[in-house]
A and B are shown apart, each in its own frame.
Chain A
Amino acid sequence: MMSLEFAIELIKSTLPRDCVLTDPSATAPFETDGLTAYRRRPPVVALPRDTNDVRQVLRICHETGIPVVTRGAGTGLSGGALPHEKGVLLVLSKMNRILSIDEEGCTATVQPGVTNLSISQAVADMGLYYAPDPSSQIACSIGGNVAENAGGVHCLKYGLTLHNVLGLKVQTIEGDELVLGGDGYESSGVELIPLFVGSEGMLGVVTEITVKLLPTPPCKEVLLGAFNELESAGECVAAIIARGIVPAGLEMMDALAIQAAEDYVHAGYPRDASTILICEVDGTAEQVRSDADLIGELMVAHGADNIRSATEPEERDRLWQGRKAAFPAVGRISPDYYCMDGTIPRRYLSKVLTSIATLAEKHGLRVANVFHAGDGNLHPLILYDASDDEQLDRAERLGVEILELCVSVGGTVTGEHGVGVEKLDPMCSQFSAPELEQFFRLKEVFDASGLMNPGKAIPTLAHCSEVKGMHVHGGELPFPELDRF
């Protein structure tokens, strides 16, 4: 490895002055992403203007052996864009142009720094939109969405980022440009798009993305039902799916989340309910009418009272308001909160929530639960005070135990936020040593020198043996009372 200083000089001599930041006051805003518990000051921030600039920076990193971490808008929640202390932070925010829109083919080709929401805004007049809508959609960039395979509240019906990407251009650290997919549905040869979507900047830098656009549904209806028992709400969700309805959105909140949201935005949610279910259906007027009627009946049959429904945009927004404000609302009742992202098969919901409550009590912390009920993605919010190191430590331990719980019922440690630096420990519970080694061999295919976002997303075997030393006692796995399969 040549010196970092030498690499920085090379970057400075290649990119314009305003595209390279080294002054600590200028690099400070880049020391963390959406996971603010982790901070690291990058020695240099490169802001490429175009694909050629990206290629130049990658070439310099490759030749000098300096690591490179790619960053979009920095809204990620798992520390995937946490800078490397001896590497380049490659920030793609200047590459923020929509390159083309094909109204007839319903596709848009964009640079990675374009924000998620701006794609939908740009095509709204054509009656089209881009479906994945992570909660940070106003700020997060599409390049980051691709890196994390971002989701949102409409995944059950419309899929994740992967299901909505048709083509990618990727720059490898060896200097190749890979053109994957295109503007059609299939292409010749092996389909590499799934490997790059969700690869957390470990394999290459995505410089161009072609996304699929969908026709805006002519009708939508939102229903909200309040339940006294969590189990009934869970059974109601199963019944809706079993009756052949795939709702556009299906969200659940528990009592603590409902109360926090109600105190914050006064959306009119029933404060005494143990659980609320919010369900959105969309489509043609006839389809929406019949789906909404059936969902209303199923809510009643499962003991819901206080059922409200809305078809007009303002009314619908009002029903969604409390759910959408849930995170900041919880932020008001606690100095800090730590957002988890496990996914579980839905049928284990009440078992998992009961176990989370037990674990929270054990660690002396409160947890509010917000749940993408349709696709099983659970966001427990652990309330703690970061100014107290001991509380942060407890919150992190509780978080790891919650994710291990998700794995133990056949789920996953991350549904949509990514592994980053945050979930390296629980990854050791989800994958075996040969599986982790297979991941590293895959990384080597595109990044033999291990310079792309090193230390993220996939834990090393050494890391896992340390973790297992901490968590496994007497050969027993965590949660022996739960089924394993």
Chain B
Amino acid sequence: MTRSFDDAQRLIDSVNYAVAHTKQLSILGQGTKAHYARSTQGDALQTRDHVGVIEYRPDELTISVRAGTPLTEIKNVLNEHDQMLACDPPEFLGGGTIGGAVACGLSGPGRPWYGNLRDAVLGIEIVNGLGECLRFGGSVMKNVAGFDVSRLMVGSLGIFGLILSVNLRVHPKPELERTIKIDLQWDDAWRIHGDAISKPSAVSATCYWSGSLYLRLSGNRASVDETRMSYPDGAEFENELWKSVRDHDHPFFHRREKLRRTWLGRGAHPELTDARNQLVEWAGAQVWSHSASTDSFAADANDASEPFDRRSANPETESKYVKRLRRAFDPHLLFNSDLRL
């Protein structure tokens, strides 16, 4: 059983203290994503003791958890019922909290097929910059009452408020998962990427690196076998690969500096210039690279490329609407005030 402790009142009190004394707060979970985004401004607001599964309903496909709950614990609880977090958020350094995962909004290699964390969030409980405890959304799949604040919080790096708890939609685990490795040129891999999103199949993740395309096949045995037959040149490979790509344990990610990611339109056909220093996920829609400059493979104006390290984000790029949104939630700019979206 997971540890359970309700630390909400202390967290709300801390925010109210900061409001009253015009102090700034830097929200902190386990700190596993500090190399991605971590505020260094103000007193640490520690969520690690606000933990536990509030309610898990396997037959409704929903789980409600406190923000400080470790991702590994949530995944273990779900696993007991053959369920999973569809979005598969990364566990850098083998850890991380669900609150941190929601605030960062990062997705694992199954993103195009299983959706992201935003798609899975059904409801949220936050403390805004006025010290008010607010709930948005709920624990049901369909809910269009009021603006969708719960999904707005995903990826917002905590600048709109402190997340107290989250309700998530979960997914049944596939009966079987297999990984295959196919050695082939990038242009041929690109064609397989296209099929993976435009044709029904058991493909649920892709990764192209250093001259090899890796495919994850998920589903019941019959459908996995059927898709497997389409790739007779593929060799069996360890399923562990996906965790290593997700958590940046894969050799490609051993070099941390100048790590960049580029998002391409679905169906874009970028030219890979340096196959060892570029890793392609999401059927071609996300490219990782080690490069300081803007990527040479950004195919058109719609493509976006940015350093993985968000701490270096230029404050000038934050639009006037984002600035106003921030003020709408947090008028005194208490939370993570040095982070920019």
Q: Which residues of A contact B (CB under 8 A)?
A: 102-107, 127-128, 148-149, 151, 155-156, 159-160, 162-163, 166, 172, 176, 178, 182-192, 194-195, 197-199, 202, 212, 215-218, 238-239, 241-242, 244-246, 283-284, 286-287, 289-290, 343-347, 372, 374-377, 410-419, 423, 427, 430-432, 434-435, 438-439, 441-446, 457-458
Contact = CB atoms under 8 A, between A and B. Distances in A.
A202 B136 CA distance: 18
A185 B141 contact: no
A-side binding surface: helix, strand, loop or mixed?
loop
Contacts of B58: 241-242
A186 B61 CA distance: 25
Given A128-B198, A159-B119, A412-B140, A184 B263 contact: yes
B146 A439 contact: yes
Contact of B155 (A106, A107, A172, A190): A190
A151 to B, nearest CB: 5
B128 interface: yes
B154 A184 contact: no
10 contacts: A104-B267, A156-B141, A184-B268, A189-B322, A190-B322, A191-B151, A245-B172, A284-B223, A286-B226, A287-B219
A279 to B, nearest CB: 15
Contact of A186 (B62, B142, B286): B286
Contacts of B119: 159, 162-163
Interface stretch (B10-18, B71-79, B298-306): B298-306
Interface in B189-232: 194, 197-202, 219-220, 222-223, 225-226
Contacts of B302: 182-184
Interface of B: 57-62, 81-83, 105, 107, 111-112, 115-116, 118-119, 128, 130, 132, 134-136, 138-149, 151-152, 154-156, 171-173, 175, 194, 197-202, 219-220, 222-223, 225-226, 263-268, 282, 285-286, 302-304, 306, 317-319, 321-322, 324-325, 328-329, 341
Contact of A415 (B143, B155, B282): B143
A444 B198 CA distance: 41
Contacts, number: 261
B146 A431 contact: yes
Nearest to B132: A434
B143 A343 contact: yes
Nearest to A191: B155
Nearest to B121: A194
B9 to A, nearest CB: 17
B263 A185 contact: yes
Given A246-B61, A290-B222, 14 more contacts: A105-B266, A149-B148, A155-B141, A182-B302, A183-B266, A186-B263, A188-B317, A244-B82, A283-B200, A284-B222, A344-B140, A345-B60, A346-B60, A438-B328
B111 to A, nearest CB: 6
A435 B136 contact: yes
Contacts of B265: 102, 105, 107, 182-184
Contacts of A411: 138, 140
Nearest to A438: B134
A185 B268 CA distance: 12
Given A198-B148, A345-B140, A442 B325 contact: yes
A185 B303 CA distance: 11
Given A106-B266, A163-B115, A431-B146, A415 B140 contact: yes
B186 to A, nearest CB: 16
Interface centre among B58, B141, B220, B302 (most CB of A within 10 A): B141
Nearest to B137: A412
A149 B135 contact: no
Contacts of B57: 345, 347
Given A191-B155, A215-B199, A244-B82, A444 B328 contact: yes
Given A155-B141, A343-B140, A376-B141, A194 B148 contact: yes
Nearest to A187: B304
A415 B146 CA distance: 11
Given A191-B105, A191-B155, A159 B115 contact: yes
